[in-house]
Amino acid sequence: MSVRRGTVYGMATWREIQADSPQFASRVRALFDAGTNKTMASLRRDGSPRISGTELVFDTERITLGMMPDSLKLHDVLRDPRVAIHSPTLEPSAGQPSDWAGDAKLAGELVGTEPALGDPPRTSSFEVNVHEVVLTYIDPDNTHLVIESWHEGRGWQRINRL
């Protein structure tokens, strides 16, 4: 794995995404911050997916998370650092479909970092280097699904699906 100044080749830091598309990044972060529990997919030894609960911390520079010692997801990411993480699932309201806040997802690789102050002892800490971020919601007219995404090397784009 090639590394250049804090960024894994082909990946971006949260700071870079915010600089490239600040409004999009703000909406993504708001969905991730809407609840404590996120869902992370990692790869098991045999290549099949594993879904685990996790918590993320966004700051102005990066996205970080921690894992308990000897957890299965820790063994997964030490073997293969690729992950996908989904924001908390928020139920749509009973009103219009466009009242739904939407959901956010990100995919990338985890890179080991020093534990943050206040982390439990022996916690393994990681920064998420991002390849892709996706924001999905219903348009205000309730006529189509909106998919906004940011990809390393391409930047931000918006697609409307009927």
Whether the full predicted model's pTM is greater than 0.75, yes or no, is: yes
Model confidence at 9, pLDDT cuts 50, 70, 90, reads low
Number of domains forming the structure of the chain: 1
Please report the pLDDT score of residue 123 as a whole number: 79
CATH number of the CATH domain containing 61: 2.30.110.10
3-state secondary structure labels for all residues of the chain: CCEECCEECCCECHHHHHHHCHHHHHHHHHHHHCCCCEEEEEECCCCCEEEEEECCEECCCCEEEEECCCCHHHHHHHHCCEEEEECCCCCCCCCCHHHCCCEEEEEEEEEEECCCCCCCCCCEEEEEEEEEEEEEEECCCCCCEEEEEEECCCEEEEEEEC
Span 61-108, pLDDT tens digits: 999 999 998 999 999 999 999 999 999 988 877 888 898 889 999 999
List the domain range (segments joined by +) for residue 60: 3-161
Identify the pLDDT of residue 89.
Answer: 87
